[in-house]
Structure 1
């Protein structure tokens, strides 16, 4: 009998524990998602609902922009204002907003053009004037690509309980045609949803700012939006400011329906690479932990671990591991959807395989180039999420 190699034994045991923790997180995401999502809380009377200032930063025209913005004019909420922030006075989005304001004159709305430079973050610079003009203490920052249901704002406000300072929507995808859209749905309904739901349940900051309701006076205590102008991941750091002051950050019962009219798999991968770069710069520990909890890599490592620890057949273990992971992801995707998936099981299978197989490639791409391209500008990321704009030399 060969002597026990304690180094290999410890490594195998650590991998097996990580594998076991992953299944706990997978089940936790399913249970919490089933309990939390698509379940309305009891609504107060209209008189009890506070006013909300909705800030919409806009840049350029999207094929679905009119449709997306119109949903905000048709919300069933007693008291809110729409603050459209547009950086460039020649932006064609101005005409779309003006046509909607004319179509819905009873909805309180304003257009702010030009913004104000308070940092390198173009979104903060664009929104700052609208933020300063907000009438209400509750602020909803909502990206231009979000399509809003009639009762979603009320749901977000109801979830903003006394000890909760921020309510954000978990990203998902609206109903669109084509495999590229279904591919995005698979990602946001499986990999991303598992992380997002578990982090929220465990009190870990995982906020994305595409649709985020917050208490303005707390942001002001943290220095206002100006204080976050030097960061590209301002959404994460805004949420952290609430957590640091003892407030809770929760998700809404309804997901954020992204409805961009421009979508393709290469475009989506570029977006994921940008997000990965931001996560690595803002939370460096992700470099180690995030790859470990991916299906294929964890399956390969744990197959070796159980073969070493228990003398199990590694190939059989790997196949069972992938099959069970796939089935749990399919269950989770249906929970996020809130019913049957709006695409075929075959499309889910293909999308799931592509998502899982491309993860390592996307991680490598993020590490190879620390430069971030966003809104036609280039930025260099520093540790802590601080960024600096890369200026093109005059020609």
Structure 2
């Protein structure tokens, strides 16, 4: 028996023990997301508007990029005409002059003639990002230094704008809303439940915890910012080379010493159409964007899922403590589910509009399919956004894909 016969088993056991320690530490760390999200969500969300308001409130320009009409567009847009706020303007940005969204907006302008609202057509080509191109005509004519970008499928509560402005302290450069979905009377079946459960559990957990730590975790579906600070970073057009412009805008504020925070009220998404496959494609697109912006996510994200993390934790516990891995896994699964449910109740801030059984089914479906969504995001760097396709490059920069001899256009 030579030297290597003694070293091999020692080395193998050492590596195995080291991996077990690593996975158990990772399993333990990921529970901090739940605990942090629960405490921060309870502290931050749905806080009451102060009884005494400042003597004067700044004006706000609200940019609404529109493309097409769905079943809820009128209802969603109408909530912006009845906001409980003294001074604001609505700038509806419509790229195509023949877009039927114009008729919806015009009918609301006629219904609420006292609201400062107008339509801006055509946009301005400043880069790859179609949303920024569409908004440029509105951005350039904003009356106020505070401006808000709000997607067409967001439904506002009357006090939401006031709440966001009150959160904009002297050291805060941007306020954004945590994404959620509104309670729907015309539920679109399982897809609407799945979407609500996703945004109320796994997405809320990460969003709340990372924002509590001051980490850049921002979505641009509903955000307010200081225009003068954005102009220091090159203005809105400087971010038109990215599809995930919201992340890079927030990072520009952080790099300049400004804080980026969430408001008390979630952004209530209220899309007129939906399907399970369409929602999953949306998650795949987001996954591709995250991987391009931060390649480390490719390695870490799969381990953060409930099932993968539970398997790793069960194996490491069996190796380190000689306990039943199967029993450990099921306790992990049950505890993870219960904490997700508590986070959902904080996000919902009221009774659920579907049964607990439907919640369990949607939660299980999301957890089982999550790893396949991440794998699908890995296999291609091509992103479909409405009718256009883009290829992602390192750092989040994109190239538009076109048919013909010259396929990619910078």
Do both share a fold (TM > 0.5)? Answer: yes
Counterpart CA distance in 1 for 2:65 and 2:133 is 10
Q: Secondary structure at the match of 1:227?
A: helix
Deviation at 1:3, TM superposition (A): 5.0
Task: Please point out which of 276, 295, 298 is paired with 2:309.
Answer: 298
Aligned CA-pair RMSD: 1.2
CA deviation map 1:329-383 (0-9, x unaligned): 1111000101222211000100000010011100111111211010210000000
Query: Contact 1:186–1:351 at 8 Å: present in 2 too?
Result: yes
Query: Where do 1:118-137 residues align within 5 Å?
Result: 118-137=126-145
Map of 1:175 onto structure 2: 183
Match of 1:71 among 79, 87, 94: 79
**What are the equivalent positions in structure 2 for 1:79-98 lying under 5 Å apart?**
79-98=87-106
Distance 2:175 2:21 in 1: 39
Q: Which moved more, 1:138-147 or 1:289-298?
A: 289-298
In structure 2, C-alpha distance between the alignment counterparts of 1:119 and 1:45, rounded to whole Å: 41
Could you say what secondary structure the match of 1:133 adopts?
A: coil
Matches of 1:290 and 1:142, distance apart in 2: 28
- 1:103 alignment partner, one of 111, 120, 142: 111
Which residue in the other structure is 1:150 paired with? 158
* Pick aligned residue for 2:219 from 201, 205, 208: 208
Corresponding residue for 1:56?
A: 64
The answer to whether 1:117 aligns with 2:125 is yes
1:273 to 274, 284, 301: 284
Residue 56 to residue 229, structure 1, CA distance change in 2 (3 Å): same
Q: Is the 8 A contact 1:41 1:159 kept in 2?
A: no
* 3-state SS, counterpart of residue 147 of structure 2: strand
- Aligned match of 1:261: 272
SS at match of 1:8: helix
Distance 2:53 2:259 in 1: 24
Q: Which residue of 2 aligns with 1:343?
A: 354
State TM-score, norm by structure 2: 0.94
**How many aligned positions are there?**
393
Q: Quote the residue 1:159 is aligned against.
A: 167
In 2, the alpha carbon distance for the partners of 1:166 and 1:238 equals 9
Secondary structure at the counterpart of residue 281 of structure 1: helix
Select the residue among 26, 29, 32 that pairs with 1:18.
Answer: 26
Whether the aligned pair in 2 keeps the contact of 1:46 and 1:78 (CA below 8 Å) is no
Deviation at 1:44? 5.2
Q: Report if the CA contact (8 A) 1:171-1:257 is conserved.
A: yes
Aligned to 2:392: 381
Query: The residue matched to 2:362 in structure 1 has which SS?
Result: helix
Structure showing greater Rg = 2
For structure 1, list consecutive stretches of 5 or more residues without a partner in the other structure: none
Structure 1 distance, partners of 2:299, 2:167, is 34
